[in-house]
Amino acid sequence: MVGEKSGGWGRAALLDNPRVRGILYQVGLCVAVAFAAVAVWRNVADNLARNHITSGFGFLDQIAGFDISQTLIDYSVQTSTYGRAFWVGLLNTLLIAVLGIVLATILGFVIGIARLSRNWLLANVARAYVEFVRNIPLLLQLLFWYNAVLKALPDIRESIPIAGIALLNNRGLFLPQPSFGPGLAWAALAGVAALAIAFVWRFIAQRRFERTGHPLPVLVPGVILVIGALILTYAAVGGTIEFAFPQLGRFNVSGGVEILPEFVALLFGLVIYTAAFIAEVVRAGLLSVPRGQSEAAAALGLRRGQILNLIIIPQAKRVMIPPLTNQYLNLTKNSSLAVAIGYPDFVQIFTGTVLNQTGQAVEVVLITLAVYLALSFATSAAMGWYGARVAFVSR
């Protein structure tokens, strides 16, 4: 009997056991992946050796020797290293991503709310905007803004003066550059103190609101407080502001701050494109709040603006955060299209110029991937934290 039974549990039965099969499949998969990885690794080593390309990250300490048109930190052609160029590019990407996210969110909310407006014309103009912008590739829009709009501006000799203080031409927008005297540190200190006071005030207002239900203004007094503290302290310690106005030369503009047309085109393109998607997210979020909520609010006598701000948006936020996070990630990733119009972002500087100069494709691409994964992760984490904060608290 026993012998017969164990005969029945033969090899076929063992293979029919889901757990055994699962383990076999996984071992097979891991072996295949490991085999492929080793093969790739050996090919890479062979190919690099054949082409006499060094490996390792030592190149980051070498002198870069190329110029960058927009640098937020000190950078010079003669002395700065590839490592420095890395940071310059990363900061340029962050600048465009942060500005783009803020502006696209504002524009997207305006258009998303406009799409639900009772004003027929407004709703349809917003709808046409969304349909039009969403269905045209971002790269095409960027090229249009850069080549057909900004590069078509008059050249330097025929610069367009704006209000007598700024100049606009096909090399960019030239704004007056403020320069501050000593005492800026004191003003900054006062600003930080004012900010702290504003946060304490916010806490007090929140407590009072929860106890009595009476809201206290927070944002406007806070902003006035901080700006007032900055200006008053600076004036009190005798600080001065001087503006260096852009001067039109024969071949060049001297003085002033230059905003590159590449920067403007990229920012415009990203904001306009992403705002169309954010508008759809906002619309879906607002529609997800049950009608009864706005009807109840209207029955309580709230005005339309109040209904939107106090009832609808706080509830819609929870629905909107995950898709909004996706759009922020898309915007950050799309900023890499800067390459097309020559804005010195991370990809243009690092994955473009540095890779071409050093030929160290593996290291450069790995660093690029790591940077974007880190940016994506940081954005997701920040939005996750915010999402948890506004999440529905069940009591």
Partner 1 sequence: MSSTGETRTFGIGITEDDIFVQSQRLPVLPAPVATTGPIGWLRANLFSSPLNSVLTLVILGLLILVIPSVIRFLFIDAVWSGTDRDACLGGPNGEVGACWAFVRERLPYFIYGSYPIPQRWRVDLFFVMLAFGAGWLLWLDAPRRGLGAIYFFIIMPICAYVLLNGWPLIGLPSVDTSLWGGVLVTVVVTTVGMVASLPFGILLALGRRSSMPAVRILSIMFIEFVRGVPLITVLFMASVMLPLFVPPAWSPDKLLRALVGIALFSSAYMAEVVRAGLLAVPRGQYEAARALGLRFWRMQGLIVLPQALRITIPNIVNSFIALFKDTTLVFFVGIFDLLKTIEVARVDPKWATPVTSATGYAFAAVFYFVFCFLMTRYADRIEYRLARAERR
| Segment interacting with partner 1 (CB under 8 A) among 22-30, 177-185, 242-250, 381-389 | 22-30
**How far apart (Å, rounded) are the C-alpha atoms in residues 117 and 106?**
17
Total residues binding partner 1 (CB under 8 A)? 53
**Helix (H/G/I), strand (E/B), else coil: 151:** coil
158 near partner 1 (CB under 8 A): no
Q: Is 321 in the site for partner 1 (CB under 8 A)?
A: no
Alpha-carbon distance of 354 to 62, in angstroms, equals 11
Query: How many angstroms separate the most distant Cα atoms in the chain?
Result: 106
Report if residue 327 touches partner 1, rule: CB under 8 A. no
Buried b (16+ CB within 10 A) or exposed e, 277-290: bbbbbbbebbeebe
**22 counts as binding partner 1 under rule CB under 8 A:** yes
User: Rounded to an integer, what distance in angstroms lies between the CA atom of residue 47 and that of residue 38?
Assistant: 14
CB 148, min distance to partner 1, A: 4
Kind of pairing between the strands at 253-254 and 247-248: antiparallel
Residue of 91, 253, 284, 361 that binds partner 1 (CB under 8 A): 361
Verify binding: residue 13, partner 1, rule CB under 8 A.
no
State the minimum distance, in angstroms, from the CB of residue 146 to partner 1: 10
- DSSP structure string for 261-294: HHHHHHHHHHHHHHHHHHHHHHHHHHHHS-HHHH
The answer to whether residue 40 forms part of the interface with partner 1 (CB under 8 A) is: yes
Q: Which of the stretches 79-87, 147-155, 220-228, 306-314 binds partner 1 when contact is defined by CB under 8 A?
A: 147-155
* Residue 5: both structure tokens together: 């039974």
Question: Which contacts of 217-220 are long-range, i.e. CB under 8 A and separated by 24 or more positions?
Answer: none
The residues pairing with 63 across neighbouring beta strands, listed in sequence order, are: 81
Q: Which is nearer to partner 1, 25 or 209 (CB)?
A: 25
Smaller CB distance to partner 1: residue 187 or 337? 337
Which of 13, 204, 224, 362 lies at the binding interface for partner 1 (CB under 8 A)?
362
Stretch that binds partner 1, among 224-232, 243-251, 288-296, 328-336 (CB under 8 A): 328-336
Contacts to partner 1 from residues 106-125, by CB under 8 A: 117-122, 125
Task: Output 232 or 365, the one with its CB closest to partner 1.
Answer: 365
What stretches of the chain show up as alpha helix (H) in DSSP? 2-8, 11-16, 18-50, 82-115, 120-134, 138-143, 184-212, 219-236, 261-288, 291-299, 304-306, 313-334, 338-341, 346, 355-358, 361-390
Binding site for partner 1 (CB under 8 A): 22, 25-26, 29-30, 33, 40, 43-44, 46-48, 50, 117-122, 125, 131-132, 134-140, 143-144, 147-148, 151-152, 333-334, 336-337, 339-340, 347, 351, 355, 361-362, 365, 368-369, 372-373, 376-377
